[in-house]
Structure 1
Amino acid sequence: MALSRTLRAPRIDLRFVIGLLLVCVSVAGVWWVVQTARVTQPVLVAQQAIVPGQTITARHVTALDARLAEASDDYVSPEALEEGLVAARTIPAGELVPVSATTTPEAIDRARVVVESALEIPGDVDAGALVELWAAPAVSPGVFDEPQVIVPGAVVAEVLSSDGMMAARGSRVELVVDRDRVAEVLRHASSGSALSVVPVAAEGGAR
């Protein structure tokens, strides 16, 4: 009598399959992270302080290969220099230039003025420093009224060299100010007010 055998398909453990898929996904994820971390792209870094309203040119920045991953679109690429970008805020030296800190010339509502400061400018005040501009109206020759702040948030564009007597009693400073403050600055300058540039202390610094 012939013996018959029933052939059965091998049973596959579903838990084993799920575990294998999870391992594959994990390995693929690690590989993707490693590969992404190795990818660099050229971005711009400021070689010097760039003040608001200043056109960003090749002499202000240099290209740097950086690993930015998902943040790559947040920073300015070298190709963007051809678009005539302008700084919307102060960009300190050494900072990667963020797209949010740039704008177009048409969007800038600031102007530059040169003032003679009655007070000597501290040696550590340079381009990009935040200052206040104070004015003491002239009452009579050599007599001035109480000083008041006329520009609370000016930015130093450049501390200019002074010669002769001006070097002894103050400093010439080029400031970036809001356009709606220009008329008042010019009025005080033309009427003989004593103008003083006063550095604004950084938060957390000495007071």
Structure 2
Amino acid sequence: MTKLLNQYSICVIDIGSPKLGNIGWCVYDALHNKYYKGADLLKLYPVLSSICENNGLILGLEAPLFVPLRTDLLLATKARKGEGRRPWSAGAGAQVLALNLPIMTHIFKNLLHLKPNLKFSFSADNFTAATEEVMIFEALVSGTDKGNTHIDDAEIMVNSCKKYLQKQLLPKNILETEIGVEYFNLAAAALQRVGYKNHIQQLSSSLPIYKPD
């Protein structure tokens, strides 16, 4: 792992139905050593806007953010290598993938409204944690890692990432290389939908998947 020269703040959003109150978020502001938590996304956006004025941000959404594209159609819904026994396509994973599409678009639209110059990245290799730089990752909090509430789940992932921040590192990506597999990046597509000018090749990229350790 390459050490970062800049510190970064951390935000994780546990995705669910807004109508049913199944959303929770947690932010760690590295500059001020302060936590913010809540269930209302509209209260989150100003917090992130302020944080991005001072340092970079890693933004985790607890939902599948990219899907594998395989030549063999029989393997189309197979788990991504490394994600374990809870694949993106089964049960809760497939449900939250669909729920997240409009929510993720809402998140990106509002962040860019407040901070039009944000620079989004999808790879730890390209992330420097510079001011107004945001790296998106997929948060995988499941099984015994989960807390009692959606806010708890978000905070658990934030605290796991924070341990790496203290070492000037990014968390370990659990996604493993799979020969011959391409990807469809849903986060990149959502950013394009709200007018962000990312490179077309980013639609074919994976993202880091982080889970608590």
Same fold (TM over 0.5): no
When the two structures are superposed, what TM-score results if normalisation uses the length of structure 2?
Answer: 0.21
User: Computing the radius of gyration over CA atoms, which structure comes out larger, 1 or 2?
Assistant: 1
Compare relative contact order (CA 8 Å, sep 6+) and give the higher one, 1 or 2. Answer: 2
Q: TM-score, normalised by structure 1?
A: 0.21
Q: In proportion to residue count, which structure has more helix?
A: 2
* Higher strand proportion (structure 1 or 2): 1
